[in-house]
Chains A and B, each alone.
Chain A
């Protein structure tokens, strides 16, 4: 099975795991991206995720399809949340299952890397001092990676 979604409600990782696990899967991976408290030295109170929702849904589905073609036999569910998230909340969850561990691990890595490169989602960080800033990963290559993952 393959399922991808852009969601606004809290992500339930256990539900994603249950979706991909079958009698034939012997390895299941779960990747979670969560909101952390500091980015590039600035204390963060939360992140507002926004998306070009229609295209983000399409692009995420295309990535999942590519993963299934590259890693034959994987079961895959991906959800990315949008809206305002607090510290430790899950922004993205990727559950992958396969008969063997390597395809599951590799497919999970493939999906998160492609998602971060291609899916039109943006995050606006809110800081302790009351200010906010859109994160531009292309402008901070020499600094810390962007805020969650």
Chain B
């Protein structure tokens, strides 16, 4: 298992009570594994099954592998403008 830090924003940060959380996932792990681990934490019910995730500041599909050292963020529905 590995520990990965995940950034949270807006309504997701409110739900988890923090702008970042650490999840424990298998190694190797995918974006979907990270989301699954997040959804099992307190506050995780706010997340849809496949929320938008950014890795190193780019939107990244669930099947893509992630590893420590990358900047992982779960993105609530955006509402700029």
Contact = CB atoms under 8 A, between A and B. Distances in A.
B42 to A, nearest CB: 19
Interface string B9-22: 11100100000000
B54 interface: yes
A55 B57 contact: yes
Nearest to A139: B77
A120 B81 contact: no
A100 B9 CA distance: 40
Q: Which DSSP category, helix, strand, loop or mixed, fits chain A's interface? A: mixed
A54 B75 CA distance: 13
Size category of the B interface is: 10 to 19
Given A50-B10, A134-B11, A120 B54 contact: yes
B81 A55 contact: no
Interface in B19-68: 54, 57-59
A149 B57 CA distance: 25
A148 to B, nearest CB: 6
Interface of B: 7, 9-11, 14, 54, 57-59, 73, 75-81
- Closest 10 interchain pairs by CB? A121-B80, A122-B10, A55-B57, A134-B11, A149-B81, A138-B77, A116-B81, A135-B79, A136-B77, A119-B80
